[in-house]
Amino acid sequence: MKKDHIGKEFMEKTKYEYVSKSDQSLELPQPPLEIEYAHKRKSIVLPNPKDLKIKDFNLIQAIEERESVRKYSDEPLSLEDLSWLLWTTQGVKEIYGDNYATLRNVPSAGARHAFETFLLVNNVEGLDTGIYQYVALEHKLVEYIMTDGIADEVVEAAYGQKMVKNDSVTFIWVADVYRMFWRYVERGYRYLHIDAGHVCQNLYLAAGNINAGVCAIAAFHDDIFNKVLRIDGENLFVIYLASVGKKI
């Protein structure tokens, strides 16, 4: 292994000894709990998590049978299925304090929960094909990019991995950097990648309840994907993907 490489530098420069004073310690206002969405766009209220009729699935079985699934049946996900997966990966259980933090179904460093969930919907009952933004605080979807050919653009950004188009839905997690950086400064970049693992593992486990398969995807062209999602790639950037569909 080379003595000098960017990964080694990242690990070195994100050690606590290099962390500068945080904006939180300087008493600067914290960023919003989630990014803004276009209120004029069509929104879809998802089934209430409390009313979901999801079958029980033994946790031991879910863990032992966890595997990456890259091919899916033609059976669509229902809105109830999608509501369940969103609730288990980024659902808000409680807003703590005066909009100070959210408590969710996954752990996050300091309860910063610095992710936004976007979905490429390909085969979900009642939803047109396109990219949707998940509004976690209201548990609803908002149409984001509904142009023809958007699924092909996502395939290109994912280095030609067609499962992101041939599935029912592709989860696209976007990091809102300052939400984490406000408290943890440079160290926060480590936490973003740790938190991504927490979120995706919940997706794998929750998919077992609805007979769905998942494949996590870390191979994608960062700049192209950020451009597809119309985000700047610095303050907001794609950090992780996962394809989801009913098992064959």
For each of the chain's 248 residues, which pLDDT tens digit applies? 666 789 999 999 999 999 999 999 999 999 999 999 988 899 999 999 999 999 888 899 999 999 999 999 999 999 999 999 999 999 999 999 888 999 999 999 999 999 999 999 999 999 999 999 999 999 999 999 999 999 999 999 999 999 999 999 999 999 999 999 999 999 999 999 999 999 999 999 999 999 999 999 999 999 999 999 999 999 999 999 999 999 99
Judge whether 2 lies within some domain: no
pLDDT of residue 97: 85
Judge whether 91 and 134 are in contact, CB under 8 Å: no
Q: What CATH code is carried by the domain that includes residue 110?
A: 3.40.109.10
Judge whether 217 lies within some domain: yes
Q: The pTM is what?
A: 0.96
Judge whether 218 lies within some domain: yes
Task: Find the length of the chain.
Answer: 248
pLDDT of residue 44: 96
Judge whether 87 lies within some domain: yes
Residue among 42, 80, 91 nearest 212 (CA): 80
pLDDT of residue 38: 86
pLDDT of residue 2: 66
Total domain count for the chain? 1
Judge whether 15 lies within some domain: no
Judge whether 121 lies within some domain: yes
| Host domain of residue 214 | 41-246
pLDDT of residue 215: 98
Judge whether 17 lies within some domain: no
pLDDT of residue 118: 98
How many CB atoms are closer than 10 A to CB 51? 8
Judge whether 216 lies within some domain: yes
Rounded CA separation 232/10 (Å): 21
Q: What is the 3-state secondary structure (H, E, C) of 187-232?
A: HHHHHHHHHHHHHHHHHHHHHHHHCEEEEEECCCCHHHHHHHCCCC
